[in-house]
Amino acid sequence: MDFIHLNEMQFYGYHGALAEEAVLGQRFTVSVSMAVDLAGAGKDDDLSKTVNYAEAYSIVQSIVEGEPVKLIETVAERIAGKLLSDYKTQVSGVRVLVVKPDPPIRGHYTSVAVEIERGKLS
């Protein structure tokens, strides 16, 4: 299987379980890997046989910068579901990593993140 990766996309959103996260917002970094058969696109140089990266970026952006939710787990599920739905003929599986680089948690750490996998990524 072939993969398309959109790595470390940066957005600003208002997701979080703490009240200040919904008011102040914060940065989010999202990476997406989509399992796609790229043979036809590569052979024919045909965008219709692959996933348009700009469109996929816009989908992720609209979710992260859109309606606030409490959990980054929910953000990841929405991204995976939308990509699988919109590209159901091209994408057989998706992996989504959502990172909060600066959550309001006391302590020393680089970030917090969730990673989910939906569909077949074999």
Catalytic residue numbers, as ranges: 100
The Cα–Cα gap between 108 and 52 comes to 38
Burial level of 1, CB count in 10 A (0-12/13-18/19+)?
exposed
Secondary structure (3-state) at 118: strand
